[in-house]
Each structure stands twice: as structure tokens, then as C-alpha cells.
């Protein structure tokens, strides 16, 4: 029973964190609108509903190579390379 309540507590904390993040992003967008970016900032999508998270896409992209990296530094380099590859992928 205690385990279920802990899981529920974690889920509630995660939901609250997501709401806080959304509020912070909205506040940032408002500052950008007022700071000279105007309509450009108003049209920036913030976590569109149904869109996959970029972090999850990157994890899937590098998953086949993770067994070949043994240090945190190399893991960071692998993820950096994945980010660059996804950026270049649209131009190819």
C-alpha cells in the first residue's frame, strides 16, 4: 500500500513540475513579446499537444550506440553528435 501512495505522490509531483514548466515558458514568451520580438514570439509553439519530446527522439536515435560509450563525456559527445545530425538532416 505504501508503494502505491509513493508512486501516486511521484506522479502528482511530476504533474506539478510540468505545470510549473509550462507557466515559466509562457512567462518567457510574454517577456519576449514585450521585449521587441512582438508577434514573432507570440507565434512560437510551446510544447505543442501531441508532439513527441525531442529528448525521447534523441534517446531512440542514439540507443544502438550507447553500449559503445563507457564514460559520461563520451555519452555527452554522442548526444551532441545526434543533435547536430538531426539539425543537418533537414538540409540533406
pLDDT tens-place string over residues 7-41: 666 656 665 666 777 788 888 878 877 887 777 77
Q: What are phi and psi of 27, to 5 degrees?
A: -65, -40
When mean pLDDT is compared over 37-41, 45-49, 56-60, 70-74, the highest value belongs to 70-74
Q: What percent of the chain has pLDDT over 90?
A: 20
**Cβ neighbours for 26, distance < 8 A, ≥ 6 positions apart:** 46
Strands (DSSP E) along the chain, which ranges?
Answer: none
- Structure-model confidence comparison of residues 47 and 59, the more confident one: 59
pLDDT of residue 1: 44
pTM: 0.46
- Mean pLDDT of the chain, nearest integer: 77
Domain residue ranges in the chain = 1-48, 52-92
Amino acid at each position: 500500500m505504501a508503494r502505491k501512495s509513493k508512486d501516486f505522490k511521484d506522479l502528482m509531483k511530476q504533474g506539478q513540475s510540468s505545470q510549473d514548466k509550462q507557466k515559466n515558458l509562457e512567462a518567457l514568451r510574454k517577456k519576449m513579446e514585450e521585449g521587441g520580438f512582438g508577434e514573432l514570439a507570440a507565434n512560437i509553439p510551446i510544447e505543442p499537444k501531441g508532439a513527441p519530446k525531442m529528448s525521447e527522439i534523441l534517446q531512440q536515435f542514439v540507443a544502438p550506440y550507447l553500449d559503445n560509450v563507457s564514460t559520461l563525456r563520451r555519452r555527452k559527445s554522442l548526444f551532441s553528435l545526434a543533435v547536430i545530425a538531426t539539425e543537418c538532416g533537414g538540409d540533406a
